[in-house]
Amino acid sequence: MIKRGSLMFAMALVIALLSACSDDGGTGKVPTVAGLKDRMEQAADLSGMKQQDADKLQKLYGITADEIEDFVLYTSTSNVKADELAIIKVKDASKTASVMERIQQRIKAQTVKFKDYRPKEYYLIEKHVLLSKGPLVFFAVSENAGRMDEAFNAAWK
């Protein structure tokens, strides 16, 4: 009887520890990229941006289609604007750091490009949002980056 109780306690402890280490806010559900895209469209005006394809994802960030499960990428329709939005779901959550590192390289390149040329756009780049939760990486450069960040985080609740 004591062994059985100890075993049940140990199992409950393991389950509690595993759920506490989860990056999904403890809900057990990971939002879909499509659902996050809808949230972004509600949180901010994306009309000055154009949705891009996997070729553009690779060109801007060096991220290939075989590394990811799903993504959405928006960039400014004008090359004198720094606005970008990327939501990337990696196939292997252990690869999020690598994806974030490549996005950091893009941020550095954009910083050099806009620093002396377009101070307002440079400011937006400096105030970017880059974070990950579970298998998802979120990146935003926009006047509305704060609202997009809130929408991303709210999807996990």
Q: Is residue 19 assigned to a domain?
A: no
How many domains are contained in the chain? 1
Model confidence pLDDT, tens digit, residues 39-61: 999 999 999 999 999 999 999 99
Model confidence pLDDT, tens digit, residues 81-122: 999 999 999 999 899 999 999 999 999 999 999 999 899 999
Q: At what angle do helices 54-61 and 96-114 cross, to 10 degrees?
A: 70
Q: Which residue range is the domain that position 33 belongs to?
A: 24-154
Interatomic CA distance for residues 76 and 125, integer angstroms: 13
* pLDDT value of residue 157: 81
Interatomic CA distance for residues 104 and 61, integer angstroms: 9
Q: Is residue 147 assigned to a domain?
A: yes
Q: Is residue 30 assigned to a domain?
A: yes
- The whole-model pTM stands at 0.81
Q: Is residue 32 assigned to a domain?
A: yes
Could you write out the DSSP letters of every residue in 30-58? ---HHHHHHHHHHHS--TTEEE--HHHHH
